Structure 1
Amino acid sequence: MKPVEVSWFSALCDDDYEFLGVPDQALKSSWEHCRNIVLAAEKGGFDNILLPSGYALGIDTQMFAGAIAALTKRIRLLMAIRVGETWPPQLARAIATLDQIAGGRLTVNIISSDMPGETLPSKPRYDRTVEVMEILKTILNGQPLDHQGEFYKLKLDPPGVKTVSGKCPPLYFGGLSEDAREASARAADVYLMWPDTMDKVKDVVADMTARAAKYGRTLKFGYRVHVVVRETEAEARTAANRLLSKLDAATGDAIRAKSLDATSVGVKRQAELRDAASDGYVEDNLWTGIGRARSGCGAALVGDPDQIVAKLNAYAEAGMEAFILSGYPHAAEADLFSRHVLPRLNHGPLVM
């Protein structure tokens, strides 16, 4: 297998369940619960962990990242940042400080969605995101900043605090729309995509490779997907069905509708996959049932260890170099994956 980065997910945004759509106080986002997921992922051998960001739900990502950085030693931290929440030079200083606390283990997931109370058309919203990524790279690479953009006009010396490497951490970024793809091609380091059929995965890799080349750039590719692994395929399918056993359609619709990205191109594509699925499966071992109870990433790899390894191998052959995985409940599924699948993968932190 080609070398890949394998990441897990810490449910900072109240996204942990035993039964999807049924809130469980024991799994609600808190410092203790999310800390335990990260520590379990580090113990299990994962290379990185996504610390997601949500405005209305859960706990603050940057505060959590600073605290968990001091409690971990090896696992990288993929901290999600919502563009617009923080003035870019201040964000650069925060990133540099967090990277120092983490001993150089910080990576950054840039999110371009609207802020609550704000609605920007797609193109200017992604143009603003590109400006932020360019500002972060200039400042965190230790260069003076003279940025005269549409959204930010800044002329600054770099801050005194620097990252451990002296460079900007890798910027992970995703989006399926035309504007999102162009933004990724212009400024991201790792292009992330949600689950899709293998032919579409290959199409996206080809398209994004060509787009980046127009700007004299190259991209690495990452794949965000849920996973349900058990000793047999039958057991895995039973576990997947159990996740939905207490969900009613109205609750699922309400969960998806309240998301800030409910109308995005990526979310619409996840709905198309559900509509095209037979018995929930849109292709071998790719189950779309997860999307009935959440917005965004809406499918899971379901199968026995051999099937999951084979599926990840196929994605790697198609160009994926990083996987961001999750499962329900997160700590329990991380343990299963780390015991049954992770030792069989050629994995390590993504090399830029």
Structure 2
Amino acid sequence: MTEGLITLALILVKLGMVFFVLLSGAAYLVLIERKLLGRMQLRYGPNRAGPGGMFQPLADAIKLITKEDLIPAQADKVIFFVAPGLATLTALLAFAVVPFAPPMTVFGREVPLVVCDLNIGVLYFLGLSSLAVYGVALGGWASNSKYALLGGIRSLAQLLSYELAMGLSLVPVVLMARSFSLTDIVLAQQNLPFAVLNPLAFLIFLISVAAESKRIPFDLPEAENELVAGFHTEYSGMRFGLFFVGEYINMMILGAMVTVFFLGGWQGPWLPPILWFLLKVLAVAFLFIWMRATLPRLRYDQLMHFGWKVLIPLSLVNVLITGAVLLAMQN
């Protein structure tokens, strides 16, 4: 009984730490993005609220909480209420299987630094990434707006298309690590990260992750020159804030997955493991921000053409080549 209570307490403590880091990290990732985009575009970012603009996330949160929460008269109110929370919740739950450091010893007890070390962590991540589309699609449909509906339909088609390529790009990772556990995948990269051993899978996964996070050049569900604001056009106040925060939490989650699957996770010389993990996640986030400042938005037909006719065939060929090489090495 005591052993079970200790295990439960450890899980709750790790959950609380993960939620705090993710929510505060998402808030300050917004500030970092606005600062970096300002510098890349030769202008100032936020610099008024607090020293160097450090209180800008707090000011934004107060603004969103105090804004009037409008609901369209003809909206499906139940789904309209639920959709933003669903989009954020799926992003938060995905971090439950991410190992951010090796196990540490606390009071003579070895504690794994992962909320839940599932032996099918890859399948859990893919399953939650499939569920993430529902929040966006239902939010667009429940708003009873043509622009929001078009944004939701675009998002549904885009996420389903690029999820196939993303899943296929992870097959070589599972083959090389011989495990679905994210901890085992990190440990399998002790000598070389999988980004070096299989650069094509890394590139396909990185592009698919950018499309899954709906970042430029893949932000077709929110194309403001066509759809006003896309699937969240009719949302205001904190419900819009949930969509907004969910997007940045999702960017951190996907950055963590790139780190775990291809960049060796927490492994690296000299620095503490958890610091290596954070630096790699921030490097992926910086790449996404850099892409936003540099690349133009694709047309929708180009987006779908690239996913179905380029990425998916490439990922299938890569699975066959990786399997053949690993089989030849065994023999």
TM-score (normalised: structure 1): 0.28
User: Relative to total residues, which structure has the larger helix share, 1 or 2?
Assistant: 2
What TM-score results when the alignment is normalised by the length of structure 2? 0.29
* Structure holding more strand per residue: 1
Name the larger-Rg structure: 2
